């Protein structure tokens, strides 16, 4: 069973691992402790101390904080309960007319603003462009991933998390609060 | 096993289903006895069987005379268990093994074992989507294989014929208004016996397809490949024994299922993952066949995966939009077969066979949607059914890419796929022969960005591992065109930390023909919109927009030895507009389309093939990678500076050099600009919901899509209304 070095995994993440070593990683049986190594690496790359439970994206993490599980950017900005789509707590810039879309796509590359709007989700803390959506008006933002964290830790990793919480999408609850 | 093989096939199917339901293992195989007792032979025979299928592919493609098979390899052969499960599969068009397996199962379910019976040398075919085919030009064949009077396996094949006799020439029938226009129909038929086609089968092809020599050549290629499998399988059985083959072939399928489940459990995370996706088909005002087609369409292609505690993957298309009066509706059987192919790329690629199908469940797509048309619209066309399916499948790459990232398997991550814009010609070629068929340009896209590097340029194709656009000279032999260019297309694969592999552009001059139709086809493209593949903050790749010039001055330009068009050039100032004078000059055509008039000599076509998708914030791209792209001409200076925030200058000669300090400063400014111009989501939501309610700046195609999506999937509609705080009775 392979046991790749943390240093090599870091190089892989940074896009500098030589191709033969990448091929070795692709072809070899996977290291069963990769998740733990990966979390150690990303934990070591942030300045804050909350424990990372799941790297949601390269920039966003679900962390344990004060008995809760929240989404947190690598810069430290916090987005709240991981069961609410974090996009609701982000900044958004929407391109839905020709002039704003043409800042990205010019001439023959220009999509039709009557058919698609480009939504850029930006971290209020560091200005990282976290996700981009290209969808027609009316499309709710994608809630890309709602993890079943307790099943993951209890059944798949064999070490249950304390303070199990309900596995449920809470996004519409937040919307209902806004609507009141 | 002796007892099982004595059962009738239909009874064996039932027994297999019951065993799987009872044990969770295919064929009830809780142990892989052959693998455990003799792993070396088990592995060796797998490779022999795999090579046997690939030998069939080589033989069959060579026997076939059509450019699609002979030059493009657009076919596939497989070996199946007696009950239809695919054991192993050749290279080629890998979207098909699932439906070939289902076709064989259907022959059994329909009672064909009693009538007309299964005999050595029988040839069965189907291409009818109502019975599980994908679309008419993909002819699916099955042959029962006997060893000493016992049906021990099936050989199968699919090949994509150049013309299936549909209402328009060729094989990308996006214009077909209904199934009656889809062309020659073979509905679960016995088409030959004693290793030969019936004469009436050949007569039908001769009278009902436009290129009968090629279509018959493909039929003979299919048969030759299946006979190759039969001959070589007999040798395998004689060497390793029938009992070994029977046991091992079932174990290979169960082994593959276990592999797929194992990968999900060890490399992903349980939970719910969602990805919206859309594709357009804008036909209003264009050349269509029936009045009802004078419309624009937008497809909703939603993907939702629920990964459960036992690593079962439940897949849903809730929210899929309604059928369209074009050839872009797909049967659930064919859709799932495409899914098996996507799964084989991403999850279950150790032994590619039917096994992974048992690792997931697909909720029946909404009845009356593009993904399940026939329950409500029996006459829906499937002329190029693959078109919406392939774009839906593109989400699978990103979805699993995200999951692999969460577990730290960065080397397995991928972004979304490219699109498939076809070019078909129909008319008299330079030899005075009528031709109708595809070029192979679209079979060579850029590959998706990966978690650690850029995608590869023009080296990948979602629907076939044989990414190969064929030789230009061969295309010039078949079709009356000359290549003026075939170039990597800059900026064609989105903008991100890692960019997708770039696409390429072919530039053709029509040459030596009395006139030829150019059909710029949709086998899965976007022209009005762009992909929803902004993974981790990347910008998606550009829309598919070809160009053409009709009735041109190219003849004069050649005579005067003036520059011609060899590439697309700047998006705002394309080469074709700078160089060519023409009665009809379209620089940014909304695809798909058939040109209003047949093209003539010295007309020009600029046909771009898309790149794939990027991932990551574009201002996190390594400035050196941007510099490298600048020096190769793969990124334009404007994109480098404005989108990647890289300040670079030519340093006297033609080489670009990055100013690292200025780049760092520019990127910091971009971050601040983003924060300044963006607004809190809640503020945008409050304004946006009013515009949604007012249907403001929403094309009629968008409104129709939402209306059908919400009607066909009421729970999807309820969630959409709740999100935008719309009344419960709101409809678009």
Instruction: List pLDDT tens digits, range B448-484.
Output: 999 999 999 999 998 887 788 888 999 999 999 999 9
Whether the pLDDT of residue B2 is over 70: the answer is no
B183-206: average pLDDT: 98
The reply to whether B487 and B544 lie within a common domain is yes
The reply to whether B658 and B628 lie within a common domain is yes
Mention every residue, 6+ apart, whose C-beta is less than 8 A from residue B403. Answer: A145, B267, B268, B269, B273, B307
Give the tens place of pLDDT for each residue, B274-299: 999 999 999 999 999 999 999 999 99
The reply to whether B601 and B661 lie within a common domain is no
Residue B587 placed within a domain? yes
Residue B159 placed within a domain? yes
Q: Which residue of A lies nearest to B671 if distances are taken between CA atoms?
A: A127
Query: What ipTM was assigned to the predicted interfaces of this complex?
Result: 0.98
- Cα→Cα distances B640→A98, A148, B459, B490, B532, Å: 21, 40, 24, 11, 22
Q: Which residues of A138-150 are buried (b: 16+ CB within 10 A; e: fewer)?
A: bbbbbbbbbbbbb
The reply to whether B689 and B557 lie within a common domain is no
Give the tens place of pLDDT for each residue, A110-167: 999 999 999 999 999 999 999 999 999 999 999 999 999 999 999 999 999 998 999 9
Helices (H), B9-109: 9-23, 33-37, 39-63, 67-70, 97-109
CA-based nearest distance B155→chain A, Å? 30
Domain spans, chain A: 89-136
Whether the pLDDT of residue B332 is over 80: the answer is yes
What's the residue count for chain A?
Answer: 180
The reply to whether B74 and B223 lie within a common domain is yes
Tokens 């290979």 identify what position?
Answer: B252
Q: Which of B585, B616, B647 is the last residue of a domain?
A: B616
Whether the pLDDT of residue B310 is over 80: the answer is yes
Q: Which residues of B532-548 are buried (b: 16+ CB within 10 A; e: fewer)?
A: bbbbbbbbbbbbbbbbb
| Cβ atoms of residues B522 and B281 within 8 Å | yes
From chain B, the residues in CB contact with A116 under 8 A are 278, 528-530
The reply to whether B595 and B628 lie within a common domain is no
* B723/A contact by beta carbon, under 8 A: yes
% pLDDT > 90, chain A: 97
Look over chain B and give the mean of its residue pLDDT values, rounded to a whole number: 96
The reply to whether B426 and B509 lie within a common domain is yes
C-alpha B53/C-alpha B55 separation (Å) is 5
Q: Which of A37, A127, A176 sits opposite B408 (nearest CB)?
A: A37
Q: What is the pLDDT of residue B70?
A: 84
Q: A24-29 — which CB contacts under 8 Å span 24+ positions?
A: A25/B411, A26/B411, A26/B412, A28/A2, A29/A1, A29/A2
Which of B307, B681, B695 to probe by mutation at the A interface, max A CB count within 10 Å? Answer: B681
Structure tokens at B603: 């007309």
| Cβ atoms of residues B351 and B256 within 8 Å | yes
Mention every residue, 6+ apart, whose C-beta is less than 8 A from residue B718. Answer: B728
The reply to whether B50 and B184 lie within a common domain is yes
Q: Which of B257, B280, B296 is the last residue of a domain?
A: B257
The reply to whether B433 and B582 lie within a common domain is yes
- Number of structural domains (chain B) is 4
Q: What is the pLDDT of residue B69?
A: 86
Residue B78 placed within a domain? yes
Say yes or no for a CB contact (<8 Å) between A58 and B674.
no
Helices (H), B430-484: 472-478
Structural domain for B68, as ranges: 40-170+179-257
Whether the pLDDT of residue B1 is over 60: the answer is no
Model pTM above 0.90: yes
- Count of other CB atoms within 10 angstroms of residue A2: 12
The reply to whether B591 and B515 lie within a common domain is yes
Q: Of B707, B547, B273, B425, which Cα lies nearest the Cα of A85?
A: B273
The reply to whether B699 and B560 lie within a common domain is no
Residue B332 placed within a domain? no
Torsion over CA: B713, B716, B720, B721 (sign)? positive
Q: Strands B648-650 and B656-658: what pairing?
A: antiparallel
Whether the pLDDT of residue A89 is over 70: the answer is yes
Say yes or no for a CB contact (<8 Å) between A107 and B571.
yes
C-alpha B142/C-alpha B229 separation (Å) is 12
From chain B, the residues in CB contact with A109 under 8 A are 491, 542-543, 545, 571
- Count of other CB atoms within 10 angstroms of residue B654: 8
Q: What is the pLDDT of residue B4?
A: 66
Residue B356 placed within a domain? no
Eight-state DSSP code of residue B539: B
Whether the pLDDT of residue B126 is over 70: the answer is yes
Torsion of CA B696, B700, B702, B705, to 10 degrees: 130
Bridge partners (DSSP) of residue B192 are B123, B197
Torsion of CA A135, A138, A144, A147, to 10 degrees: -170
Q: Of A109, A59, A24, which Cα lies nearest the Cα of B537?
A: A59
Q: Which of A112, A116, A172 sits opposite B723 (nearest CB)?
A: A172
The reply to whether B489 and B570 lie within a common domain is yes
Q: What is the pLDDT of residue B464?
A: 82
């Amino acid at each position: 069973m392979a046991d790749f070095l943390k240093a090599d995994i870091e190089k892989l993440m940074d896009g500098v691992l030589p191709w033969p070593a990448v091929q070795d990683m692709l072809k070899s049986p996977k290291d069963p402790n990769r998740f733990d190594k990966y979390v150690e690496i990303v934990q070591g790359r942030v300045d804050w101390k909350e424990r990372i439970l799941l790297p949601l994206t390269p920039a966003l993490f679900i962390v344990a904080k004060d008995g809760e599980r929240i989404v947190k950017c690598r810069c430290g900005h916090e987005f709240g309960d991981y069961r609410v789509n974090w996009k609701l707590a982000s900044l958004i810039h929407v391109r839905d007319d020709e002039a704003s879309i043409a800042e990205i796509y010019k001439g023959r590359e220009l999509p039709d603003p009557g058919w698609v709007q480009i939504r850029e989700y930006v971290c209020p803390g560091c200005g990282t462009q976290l996700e981009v959506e290209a969808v027609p008006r009316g499309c709710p933002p994608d809630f890309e991933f709602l993890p079943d964290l307790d099943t993951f830790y209890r059944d798949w990793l064999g070490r249950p998390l304390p303070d199990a919480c309900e596995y449920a999408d809470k996004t519409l609850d937040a919307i209902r609060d806004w609507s009141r | 096993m002796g007892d099982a093989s004595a059962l009738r096939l239909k009874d064996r199917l039932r027994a297999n289903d019951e065993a799987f339901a009872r044990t969770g293992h295919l064929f009830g195989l809780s142990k892989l006895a052959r693998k455990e007792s003799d792993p070396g032979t088990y592995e060796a025979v797998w490779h022999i069987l795999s090579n046997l299928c690939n030998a069939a592919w080589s033989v069959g493609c060579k026997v076939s005379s059509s450019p699609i098979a002979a030059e493009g390899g657009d076919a596939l052969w497989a070996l199946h268990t007696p009950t239809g499960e695919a054991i192993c599969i050749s290279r080629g068009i890998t979207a098909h093994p699932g439906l070939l397996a289902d076709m064989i199962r259907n022959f059994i379910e329909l009672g064909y074992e009693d009538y007309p019976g299964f005999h050595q040398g029988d040839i069965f075919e189907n291409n009818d989507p109502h019975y599980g085919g994908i679309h008419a030009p993909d002819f699916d064949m099955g042959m029962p294989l006997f060893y000493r009077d016992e049906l021990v396996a099936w050989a199968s094949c699919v090949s994509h014929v150049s013309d299936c006799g549909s209402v328009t020439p060729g094989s990308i029938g996006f214009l077909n208004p209904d199934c009656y226009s889809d062309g020659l129909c073979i509905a679960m038929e016995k088409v030959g016996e004693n290793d030969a086609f019936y004469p009436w089968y050949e007569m039908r092809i001769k009278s009902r397809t436009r290129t009968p020599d090629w279509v018959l050549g493909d039929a003979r290629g299919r048969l030759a490949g299946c006979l190759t499998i039969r001959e070589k399988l007999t040798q395998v059985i004689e060497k390793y024994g029938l009992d070994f083959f029977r046991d091992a072939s079932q174990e290979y399928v169960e082994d593959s299922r276990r592999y797929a489940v194992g990968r999900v459990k060890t490399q992903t995370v349980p939970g719910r993952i969602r990805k919206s996706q859309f594709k357009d088909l804008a036909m209003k005002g264009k050349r269509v066949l029936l009045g009802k087609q004078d419309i624009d369409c937008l497809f909703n292609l939603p993907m939702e995966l629920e990964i459960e505690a036992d690593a079962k993957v439940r897949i849903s298309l809730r929210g899929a939009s309604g059928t369209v009066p074009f050839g872009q509706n797909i049967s659930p059987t064919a859709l799932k077969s495409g899914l098996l192919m996507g799964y084989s790329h991403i999850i279950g690629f150790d032994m590619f066979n039917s096994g992974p199908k048992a690792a997931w469940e697909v909720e029946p797509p909404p009845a009356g949607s593009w993904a399940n048309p026939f329950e409500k619209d029996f006459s829906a066309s499937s002329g190029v059914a693959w078109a919406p399916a392939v774009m839906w499948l593109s989400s699978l790459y990103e979805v699993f890419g995200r999951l692999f990232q969460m577990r730290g398997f960065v080397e397995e991550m991928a972004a979304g796929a490219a699109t498939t814009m076809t070019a078909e010609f129909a008319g008299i070629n330079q030899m005075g022969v009528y031709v109708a068929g595809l070029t192979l340009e679209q079979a060579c896209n850029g590959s998706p960005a990966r978690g650690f590097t850029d995608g590869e340029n023009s080296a990948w194709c979602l629907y076939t591992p044989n990414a190969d656009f064929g030789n230009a000279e061969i295309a010039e032999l078949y079709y009356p065109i000359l290549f003026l260019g075939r170039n990597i297309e800059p900026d064609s694969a989105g903008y991100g930390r890692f960019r997708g592999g770039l696409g390429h552009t072919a530039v053709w001059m029509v040459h030596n023909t009395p006139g030829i139709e150019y059909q710029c086809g949709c086998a899965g493209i976007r022209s009005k919109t762009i992909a929803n593949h902004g993974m981790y903050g990347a910008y998606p790749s550009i829309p598919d927009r070809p160009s053409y010039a009709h009735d041109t001055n190219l003849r004069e330009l050649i005579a005067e030895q003036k520059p011609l068009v060899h590439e697309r050039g700047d998006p705002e100032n394309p080469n074709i507009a700078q160089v060519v004078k023409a009665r009809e000059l379209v620089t940014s055509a909304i695809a798909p389309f058939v040109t209003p008039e047949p093209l003539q000599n010295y007309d020009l076509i600029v046909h771009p093939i898309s790149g794939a998708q990027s991932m990551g914030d574009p201002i996190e791209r390594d400035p050196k990678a941007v510099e490298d792209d600048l020096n190769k001409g793969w990124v334009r200076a404007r994109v480098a500076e404005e989108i990647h925030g890289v300040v670079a200058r030519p340093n006297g000669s033609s080489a670009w050099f990055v100013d690292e300090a200025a780049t760092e400063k520019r990127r910091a400014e971009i971050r601040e600009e983003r924060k300044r111009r963006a607004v809190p989501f809640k503020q945008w939501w409050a304004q946006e919901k009013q515009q949604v309610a007012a249907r403001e700046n929403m094309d009629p195609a968008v409104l129709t899509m939402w209306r059908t999506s919400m009607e066909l999937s009421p729970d999807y509609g309820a969630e959409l209304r709740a999100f935008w705080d719309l009344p419960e009775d709101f409809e678009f």
